[in-house]
Amino acid sequence: MRKVLSLLLVTALLFGAMAGARTVTAATVEFRWNNGAEPLTIDPALSTGVPEANTILQVFEGLTRLDKNNNPVPAVAKSWTISADKKTYIFKLRDSYWTNGTPVTAYDFEYAWKRALQPETAAEYAYQLYYIYGGEAYNTSINVDGKYYRQAVDAKGNPVTKKEGDKDVPVADMKKEIDPSKNVGVRALDTKTLKVYLASPTAYFLSLCAFPTLMPVCKAVVSKNASWTKDDLKSYITNGPFKAISWSHSEKMEFIKNPTYWDKANVKPDKLTYYMIDNESTALIQYQSGAIDGSDTVPLSELPALVKSGDCKVMPYLGTYYYSFNVTKKPFNDVRVRKALTLAINRSAITLKITRAGEVPARGYVPYGIPDATSTTEFRIAGTENFYKDNDIATAKALLAQAGYPNGKGFPAFSILYNNSTRHKSIAEAIQQMWKTNLGINCTLKNEEWGVYLDDLTALNYQVARRGWIGDYVDVNTFMDMWVTGGGNNDTGWSNKQYDADIAKAKVATDPKVRMKLMHDAENILMKEFPIAPIYYYTHPILLKSKVKGLVVSTLGFVDWKNATISG
């Protein structure tokens, strides 16, 4: 009798447990995430930073998506063919729908890309579409009475401007009209076929197709309603895994699984809530009190403890923190001085004692995590992995002596410029001390407000400055093309003909091996000339409850919630 009873009890328990399990699986999967800041826009064409991308990439989907290894995989495009010269792409679109139920067509892509390029849209990231034939010309054209013209150039190739009041106004070349319907290399051949013609072979174009600027927009809605992203979200028609349902500015944004998304069966979360908490400590308190499941920001002071407890996960990040030298000013015009200063930095002391988020001391410029000629090799490892020894004081001293400053004697006074931030200040103080004790060089620290700091960088109004670079896409070009002569982000005054030639050749190279060889050559030049002193490769620490699985954080810092689940 007892046996029967216990058997009954066990069965009852099992049933109970199963019923319980069923309610657990049926429960909605919801995540509350701190986006770290209010997105400046939710319009993909206007998107700029990470908070914007992290919003837009949940609700939009481009031709491709990046998988968890950062490789482009088919998304709205189900397949594509690439011409032998690597310049023409034909994308075949799958059947997919906008949140208003209308189909996503190739015309929507054509419209969206041309809209991002149109000068009047004033998209900051329009240059992500300069790879398309005619893209740059259209974006930089001049609108005269509703038609677009190239800017006139004089015999030497310099752009022509005229004085209008106190401003220089570009002059249009009335013989060179640009017709965006013909002269821009993107065209819908039919509703499901998109033809893209590139200006030059671009190895990473398929990755770019997953970037916010290249998301499609619903032509029928956006072309009629200029304020489609404003306020109540009623006109915010999207095609991604999630659908935005509410936006309370500077507070939170709510998303649900998009019922019209083509791959909705594989979207795991039912609901997402983004909070816009910009104070890292507040975000941590909210996390600890259980109000959020994760955060894109972590307070620096709490990092080691949070990493230890498993609450902070350190994600790889495509970025390099470095110091740049103004090579137009003495004594930094001497490569021996630049190299001596570069070698006399103890990078591991900085990453272990100051930044403390698993950063890797940089002994090259391009960070880890970028593929080389084949996707199985890494750029950083394929070439010279390390160009110098960390904290190589003996060599540094010898170089400085050769340059005429033995033991730092007679070294002119200079300052390290950085923008207001505790992190930059601590690092600058450490480096100031290292240069003093290792080389006998004295320098002062100069901190400036963000905008002023940027202006001084551009105007080369500094000697040594703290800087950082985060990749725009997963290709070595995003790090390399900035150092060409006169590059918009060069800001060192450094110029090297061989370097410029290598980068120019790499841009048109169709063979990945040749292209990567040129890139390695260019980096070799950079690391022989030292216009910059690399310090460390960034990491991306985030807060995340251990029960959250499957969240993909790309090396560009973008999160993808599509496959996120709760376990345990």
Partner 1 sequence: MSKYVIRRLLSMFLVVLIVASATFFLMRFLPSGPFSREKALPAAVIKNLEERYHMNDPLWKQYVDYIGNLLRGDLGPSFKYRDRTVNSIIKDGFPVSATLGAVAVLLAVVIGIPLGIWGALRQNGWQDNLVMFVALLGVSVPNFIMAVLLMFIFALGLHVVPAAGWGSFRQTILPALTLAGYPTAFIARLVRSSMLEVLRQEYITTARAKGLSEHLVIFRHALRNILIPVVTVLGPLIAAVFTGSFVVEKIFAIPGLGRYYVTSINDRDYTTILGVTIFYSALLVSMNFLVDLTYAWLDPRIRYVERKVS
Residue number with CB closer to partner 1 (11 or 161): 161
Q: For 336, list phi and psi in degrees, rounded to 5.
A: -65, -40
Query: Strands, E, within 430-551: which ranges?
Result: 443-448, 464-470, 532-544, 548-549
Which is nearer to partner 1, 418 or 435 (by Cβ)? 418
Nearer to partner 1, 300 or 452 (CB): 452
Spatial distance between the Cα atoms of 313 and 311, rounded to a whole number of angstroms: 6
CB 400 within 8 A of CB 336: yes
Phi, psi of 103 (to 5 degrees): -70, 150
**Which residue type sits at 199?**
A
Contact between 305 and partner 1 per CB under 8 A:
no
CB count in 10 Å sphere of residue 366: 27
Tell me whether residue 5 or residue 166 sits nearer to partner 1 (CB atom): 166
Q: Does residue 259 have a cis peptide bond before it, meaning omega lies within 30 degrees of 0?
A: no
* β pairing state of 559-560 and 552-553: antiparallel
Which of these segments, 186-194, 407-415, 451-459, 498-506, binds partner 1 (CB under 8 A)?
451-459
Sequence length of the chain is 568
Figure out which of the listed residues 29, 102, 170, 505 binds partner 1, where binding follows CB under 8 A.
Answer: 170
**How many other CB atoms sit within 10 Å of the CB of residue 39?**
23
Check residue 278 for interaction with partner 1 (CB under 8 A): yes
Instruction: Considering the complex, state which of residue 107 and residue 130 has its C-beta at the smaller distance from partner 1.
Output: 130
Distance (Å) of CA 233 to CA 215, 245, 257, 311, 475 = 18, 7, 16, 34, 35
Q: How far is the CB of 428 from partner 1 (least distance, A)?
A: 17
Using the rule CB under 8 A, give the single segment among 78-86, 121-129, 266-274, 555-563 that binds partner 1.
121-129
Q: What is the dihedral of CA 420, 488, 491, 541, to 10 degrees?
A: 40
Q: For helices 393-402 and 422-439, give the axis angle rounded to 10 degrees.
A: 70
Report in angstroms how near the CB of residue 271 gets to partner 1 at its nearest: 16
Is the four-CA dihedral 392, 444, 338, 322 of positive or negative sign? Answer: positive
State the nearest-atom distance from the C-beta of 337 to partner 1, in Å: 26
User: Which of 79, 100, 437, 458 is in the footprint of partner 1 by CB under 8 A?
Assistant: 458
Interface residue with partner 1 among 31, 35, 42, 214 (CB under 8 A) is 42
Taking the C-alpha atoms of residue 34 and residue 29, their distance in angstroms, rounded to an integer, is 17
Please say whether the beta carbons of 34 and 292 come within 8 A. yes
Among 95, 179, 231, 429, binds partner 1 (CB under 8 A): 231
What CA–CA distance (Å, rounded) separates 432 from 410? Answer: 17
Q: Rule CB under 8 A: is residue 276 a binding residue for partner 1?
A: yes
Strands 30-34 and 271-275: parallel
According to the binding rule CB under 8 A, does residue 286 interact with partner 1?
Answer: yes
Per-residue binding letters, 475-514, with partner 1 (x by CB under 8 A): -------------xx-x-----------------------
Contact criterion met (CB below 8 Å) for 322 and 533: yes
Please identify, among the stretches 33-41, 297-305, 508-516, 531-539, the one whose residues bind partner 1 according to the rule CB under 8 A. Answer: 33-41
Instruction: Draw the binding track, 411-450, toward partner 1 (x: CB under 8 A; -: no contact).
Output: --------------------------------------xx
Backbone angles phi, psi at 294, to 5 degrees: -175, 170
The tokens for 437 are 């004790």
Q: What is the DSSP letter of 345?
A: -
Out of 6, 100, 191, 288, the residue judged to bind partner 1 by CB under 8 A: 288
Please tell me the count of residues contacting partner 1 according to CB under 8 A.
Answer: 55
271 binds partner 1 (CB under 8 A): no
**Nearest approach, Cβ of 393 to partner 1 (angstroms)?**
32
Q: Which amino acid is at 486?
A: G
Which among 72, 66, 203 is positioned nearest to 516, based on CA atoms? 203
Q: Does 167 bind partner 1 (CB under 8 A)?
A: yes
Per-residue tokens: 493: 């005054």
Instruction: Output the smallest distance, CB 467 to partner 1, in A.
Output: 8
- Interface stretch with partner 1, choices 115-123, 185-193, 210-218, 557-565 (CB under 8 A): 115-123
Please identify, among the stretches 120-128, 328-336, 354-362, 386-394, the one whose residues bind partner 1 according to the rule CB under 8 A.
Answer: 120-128
**Residue 279 or residue 374: which is nearer to partner 1 going by CB?**
279
Closest approach of partner 1 to the CB of residue 296, in Å: 14
Binding of partner 1 at residue 530 (CB under 8 A)? no
Query: What residues line the site for partner 1 (CB under 8 A)?
Result: 38, 40-43, 46, 48, 119-124, 126-127, 136, 139-140, 165-167, 169-170, 229-231, 248-251, 275-279, 281-283, 285-286, 288-289, 291, 449-452, 454-455, 458, 468, 472, 488-489, 491
